[in-house]
Structure 1
Amino acid sequence: MAPFSLLTLIFKFSLLFNFCRCVNLRNLNVSVLKWESNNWSPAGATWYGPPTGAGSEGGACGYGDAVSQKPFSSMVSAGGQYFYQSGKGCGECFQVKCTENEACSGKPVTVVITDECPSCDSVHFDLSGTAFGAMAAPGKADQLRNAGVLQIQYTRVKCNYLGVTVASHVDSGSNTYFFATVVEFDAGEGDLAAVELQQNGQDNWLPMQRLLGC
């Protein structure tokens, strides 16, 4: 999977400040896009990383080691381009299930897109070992992981981050002249459409720019 060095999570937006020594934020305004859930659709599925791990350490979306921690808890996936969307798909939630292998449970599990799979087919999930094994019947996770490429079913679902609607933090790469913030959790039915920044003592909102991949 594609590496990414910055310690961030889902989407990153940046704004260049060349007129001040520091940024005293007052507020962030986050807009979301509405979407409607689809019926179950077919996709391919594989897994990567340790058998009971979280895939890569963060991957192309820049999650870092957060992928193995709550609320993600290793239930993550790299996506083919249909899901990754050049970084815009980072943080989207899907239910996946398998029924065509005798080791499948047939029960859906929820995963979050946290990485890109550039070598995969477009409609493909490259799941963490943990997420892939979660589709198995009790005691058959290893058997399922040995099955190779699976044909699965998927559907888009709302993200549920333990009561958090939208959370963000300032990226560690920010400095006197460059400000970047990361929207960590975007729960519910929305994709991020825009983020605006308001400086302390000012009334106007400044549109921020998206950096691809995170």
Structure 2
Amino acid sequence: MASILQARSFMLIAYAMMFTFMGEPTAAVVTFRPSKWSLAHATFYGDETASETMGGACGYGNLFKNGYGTDTVALSSTLFNNGYACGSCFQIKCYQASACYKNVAYTTVTATNLCPPNWSKPSNNGGWCNPPRVHFDMAKPAFMKIAQWKAGIVPVMYRRVPCQRKGGVRFSFQGNGYWLLVYVMNVGGGGDISSMMVKGSRTGWIKMSHNWGASYQAFATLGGQALSFRITSYTTKETIIAWNVVPSNWNVGLTYSTSTNFH
């Protein structure tokens, strides 16, 4: 009997080790699934070059350079969720309007900006992004994929979908020797982040606070240390760790990449 119990214990330990990587459990990996279709409206901002969409409330900077291109959208504050929706992806299709392109099923966009309320106008006539309205203010090239731009505003169906990203998460550094500000980009899966921690090669894990958009900060002296990041998805609650993704000679103004990403 003792030998049988020992064998079973060994099998359980071996099974657990299959789902452990460098001491961190990964058995709860979640593959993000599309949500149900819901009704909203969409407009556009900027021109065909999408130059006015650069930057934005998520802090992604140059959207061409950082891999987001023109397939982007500004969310009404109801969807924006104080920046926690930054990086999330949506499929949007024009719905029951004469301006809709009939042969286009949908287009996929990434949330990179906030469409702020306009309280001077009613929500059905200019104040499209006033809460509690769900609204998408798309980059003009993205809007033109689903509808004639002269329509200005169209009813749409939308759903959250997994973000398909090439490569791993990227970390863009700002701050100084006592304050590290990190913009997190190219996030796959749910595309969003709920919390983040940093670990220096001479420190334990330090909790970072949400600054704004897709940026997190740590008030700590981390210069001269290789850095690792622990990131948790807002949508799926999945946690990944990018071990030693930043070398000890890191500097602000630079962007560091990892092969690690969400599913």
TM-score by length of 1: 0.72
The match for 1:23 is none
Say if 2:163 is the partner of 1:166: no
Q: Which runs of 5+ in 2 are unaligned?
A: 1-23, 118-128, 215-263
1:1-20 residue pairs with structure 2 within 5 A?
none
Q: Report the CA distance between 1:133 and its aligned residue.
A: 0.5
The match for 2:93 is 97
The match for 2:106 is 108
Q: Which runs of 5+ in 1 are unaligned?
A: 1-28, 137-143
Counterpart contact for 2:95–2:154, Cα < 8 Å: no
Structure 2 residue corresponding to 1:135, chosen from 143, 146, 156: 146
The match for 2:60 is 63
The match for 2:137 is 126
Residue type matched to 1:80 in 2?
S
Q: Deviations over 1:181-208 (max 9, x none)?
A: 1211210136323211111233x21111
Structure 2 residue corresponding to 1:39, chosen from 29, 33, 36: 36
Aligned CA distance change for structure 1 residues 55 and 107 (closer, same or farther; 3 Å): farther
Residue type matched to 1:206 in 2?
I
Distance across 2 between alignment mates of 1:111 and 1:145: 17
Aligned pair count reads 173
Identical-residue share of aligned pairs (%)? 32
Distance across 2 between alignment mates of 1:33 and 1:130: 35
Counterpart contact for 2:39–2:155, Cα < 8 Å: yes
Q: Report the CA distance between 1:55 and its aligned residue.
A: 4.0
Distance across 1 between alignment mates of 2:108 and 2:193: 20
The match for 1:181 is 182
Q: Deviations over 1:41-84 (max 9, x none)?
A: 1111000111342543221111222x234631111011001221
Q: Report the CA distance between 1:113 and its aligned residue.
A: 0.7
Q: Which has the higher contact order (CA 8 A, sep 6+)?
A: 1
Aligned CA distance change for structure 1 residues 74 and 198 (closer, same or farther; 3 Å): same
1:49-88 residue pairs with structure 2 within 5 A?
49-65=46-62, 67-69=63-65, 71-88=67-84
Counterpart contact for 2:87–2:191, Cα < 8 Å: no
Counterpart contact for 1:54–1:75, Cα < 8 Å: no
Aligned CA distance change for structure 1 residues 82 and 210 (closer, same or farther; 3 Å): same
Counterpart contact for 2:100–2:146, Cα < 8 Å: yes
Q: Report the CA distance between 1:40 and its aligned residue.
A: 0.8
Aligned CA distance change for structure 1 residues 62 and 177 (closer, same or farther; 3 Å): same
Distance across 2 between alignment mates of 1:41 and 1:57: 28
Distance across 2 between alignment mates of 1:169 and 1:51: 28
TM-score by length of 2: 0.60
Instruction: Select the structure of larger CA radius of gyration.
Output: 2
Query: RMSD of the TM alignment (CA)?
Result: 2.4
Counterpart contact for 1:117–1:126, Cα < 8 Å: yes
